[in-house]
Chains A and B, each alone.
Chain A
Amino acid sequence: GAVVSQHPSWVICKSGTSVKIECRSLDFQATTMFWYRQFPKQSLMLMATSNEGSKATYEQGVEKDKFLINHASLTLSTLTVTSAHPEDSSFYICSARAEGTDTQYFGPGTRLTVL
């Protein structure tokens, strides 16, 4: 149980284009989903928290107009990197948490490379 998937697992795009990453909870309803960014050999950096049906809450320093988050259902959240640039290249990981619980379950991550 508690499986989270991400799609795509990797993506390469040209500078200036937008990329959408999906995060799905497969066997539970995720009232809250989180988006993280991870640089090589570093820990995870929380970008934003999204609750189903509400606007996402962004961490300080994260541009909400650049990283658009939508959590339209209890099993799906999307992260759109708009007008991507090479510095946006990173490993993006989502996690999901069921209502009334304190445990986050993580997706397998998405490797974004912006050329």
Chain B
Amino acid sequence: AQSVTQPDIHITVSEGASLELRCNYSYGATPYLFWYVQSPGQGLQLLLKYFSGDTLVQGIKGFEAEFKRSQSSFNLRKPSVHWSDAAEYFCALNQGGKLIFGQGTELSVKP
């Protein structure tokens, strides 16, 4: 069955440090993958998406993600985290027009 796994429930990084949030997927064909961010009490904002082509995808707010088919991964990265990046991050897979979400990773940023 298709699924999305975010192994890290909670991550804390220092402001200015680099960030990598992990996402693994299970899907038979070429996946359409997304990263969304959710601030407390808010909806989801699309950070970036991968459909095909270049496996390194650039998104908003300085985020990027790399699709690695051999590892079934789509990890999100940012070279320097800002305090405003503290939020919940969701990786999602498109299956037949519906989104399958990972469990989410809560990011805390310490000064």
Question: Which residues of A are interface residues toward B (Cβ below 8 A)?
Answer: 2, 4, 6, 32, 34, 41-44, 46, 49, 91, 93, 95, 97, 102-109, 111
Contacts and interface: CB of A to CB of B under 8 A. Distances in A.
Interface in B84-111: 90, 94, 97-99, 101-104, 106
A34 B90 contact: no
A101 to B, nearest CB: 10
A102 B45 contact: no
B34 A109 contact: no
A96 B7 CA distance: 28
B17 interface: no
Contacts of B103: 42-43
B102 A43 contact: yes
A111 B49 CA distance: 28
Give the interface SS of chain B, mostly helix, strand, loop or mixed.
Answer: strand
A97 B34 CA distance: 14
B9 to A, nearest CB: 9
B97 A32 contact: yes
A69 to B, nearest CB: 15
Contact of B98 (A43, A49, A111): A49
B34 A103 contact: yes
Nearest to A2: B46
Nearest to B36: A106
Given A43-B90, A43-B104, A104 B43 contact: no
B97 A109 contact: no
A14 to B, nearest CB: 23
Interface string B16-38: 00000000000000001010100
29 contacts: A2-B46, A4-B43, A6-B43, A41-B106, A42-B104, A43-B90, A43-B101, A43-B102, A43-B103, A43-B104, A44-B90, A44-B99, A49-B98, A93-B43, A95-B44, A95-B99, A97-B97, A102-B32, A102-B97, A103-B34, A104-B99, A105-B46, A106-B36, A106-B43, A106-B44, A106-B45, A106-B46, A109-B42, A109-B43
